[in-house]
Amino acid sequence: MGSLLLVLLLLLLSPSYPRGGSARRRRGARTQSPGGSSHPPFWVRLSPDFKAVPLGGSVWLNCSSSCPLPEGSSLRTELRRGETLSGPRWVSYQLLDVRAWNSDVHCFVTCAGETRGATARITAYKQPTSVILEPPVLMGSDYTLRCHVTHVFPVGFFVVTLRRGGRVIYSESLERFTGLDLANVTLTYLLPSRPGDFGQPVTCHARLNLDGLVVLSSSAPATLPVPAWSPASKALASTSIAAFVGIFLVVGALSLRKYLLMQPPA
């Protein structure tokens, strides 16, 4: 009995005896989950992550990942798909006839049984068909400036600006217009007339800004006209001219008489 107790005591004290804590650690190492260190995380990237496309245009998106051996990739979108190209750890997708204002595109890659994804946003825009500035009209003491911007989309991201001789005289953002259809815009502005404005060129500009993409369209220049003479102004001018001519004739007659008197008698 004493020998048996001694053997059991020696086994318990032996460093090779499987104590409870180390056994749990060994069981944990053998039963790691797929998301543990045996399967390192990987990233998925869809580029570009934002793209503005002219209405009805197309775009290529590249879906790539850091997975060494991807098991598969897929794309989810409401846009019409075109060609597909692929290489090591990447797949490129072509999207056709982009017409929606905002479209989210999702790319998914599966690696070691785990699926991850990335998202890109595609937006469509329409540059103005034309920017037309009507000839300025002087009504009273103000010029009426009227600018037409035709077939634009999306209207709410446009800014219309009027320039006189290269300097901004008026600018208006159209952000209050939230419609997502092609639209025509007319801007009317009253410009107080000044003597120095006569003959100055005026232009109208439509600018679209979509996350750094700037599209600018401009009108042909129009000239500020010289103000027309009113009947009262014409009468005043005629009276002034007649008075000036009368004074000139009187002065001329006096000068001639003085000249004749200074001549010696014949």
Query: Please, what CATH class does the domain formed by 130-224 belong to?
Result: mainly beta
34 upstream amide cis, omega within 30 of 0 = no
Q: Which residue has the higher pLDDT, 83 or 27?
A: 83
Look at residue 38 and tell me whether its pLDDT is greater than 70: no
Look at residue 14 and tell me whether its pLDDT is greater than 60: no
Assigned superfamily of 44-125: Immunoglobulins (2.60.40.10)
Look at residue 127 and tell me whether its pLDDT is greater than 60: yes
Residue type (1 letter), 235: A
Supply the pLDDT for residue 129. 93
Nearest to 155 by CA among 130, 116, 120, 184: 184
Look at residue 264 and tell me whether its pLDDT is greater than 70: no
Q: Which residue has the higher pLDDT, 187 or 18?
A: 187
Mean pLDDT of the chain: 78
Supply the pLDDT for residue 77. 95
Query: What are the phi and psi torsion angles at 211 (to 5°)?
Result: 50, 50
Buried b (16+ CB within 10 A) or exposed e, 131-143: bebeebebeeeeb
Look at residue 34 and tell me whether its pLDDT is greater than 80: no
pLDDT, average across residues 108-113: 93
Two tokens, residue 18 = 């499987």
pTM reported for the whole predicted model: 0.63
pLDDT, average across residues 193-204: 88
Look at residue 71 and tell me whether its pLDDT is greater than 60: yes
Q: How many whole angstroms separate alpha carbon 262 and alpha carbon 266?
A: 12
Supply the pLDDT for residue 254. 56
Supply the pLDDT for residue 228. 56
pLDDT, average across residues 168-176: 92
Look at residue 259 and tell me whether its pLDDT is greater than 70: no
Look at residue 56 and tell me whether its pLDDT is greater than 80: yes
* Total length of the chain: 266
Q: Dump pLDDT digits (tens) for 215-255.
A: 899 999 999 987 654 444 444 445 544 444 444 444 455 55
pLDDT confidence band for 19 (50 / 70 / 90): very low
Q: Return the percentage of the chain with pLDDT > 70, whole number.
A: 70
Supply the pLDDT for residue 23. 33
Q: Do domains 44-125 and 130-224 have the same CATH topology?
A: yes
Q: Return the percentage of the chain with pLDDT > 90, whole number.
A: 53
Give CA separation, 20 vs 12, 61, 106, 205, in Å: 12, 54, 48, 80
Domain extents in the chain: 44-125, 130-224
pLDDT confidence band for 263 (50 / 70 / 90): low
pLDDT confidence band for 49 (50 / 70 / 90): very high
**Cβ contact 186:148 at 8 Å:** yes
3-state secondary structure the chain: CHHHHHHHHHHHHCCCCCCHHHHHHHHHHHCCCCCCCCCCCCCEEEECCEEEEECCEEEEEEEEECCCCCCEEEEECCCEEEEEEEECCEEEEEEEEECCCEEEEEEEEEECCEEEEEEEEEEEEECCCEEEECCCEEECCEEEEEEEEEEEECHHHEEEEEEECCEEEEEEECCCCCCCCCEEEEEEEEEECCHHHCCCEEEEEEEEEECCEEEEEECCCEECCCCCCCHHHHHHHHHHHHHHHHHHHHHHHHHHHHHHHCCCCC
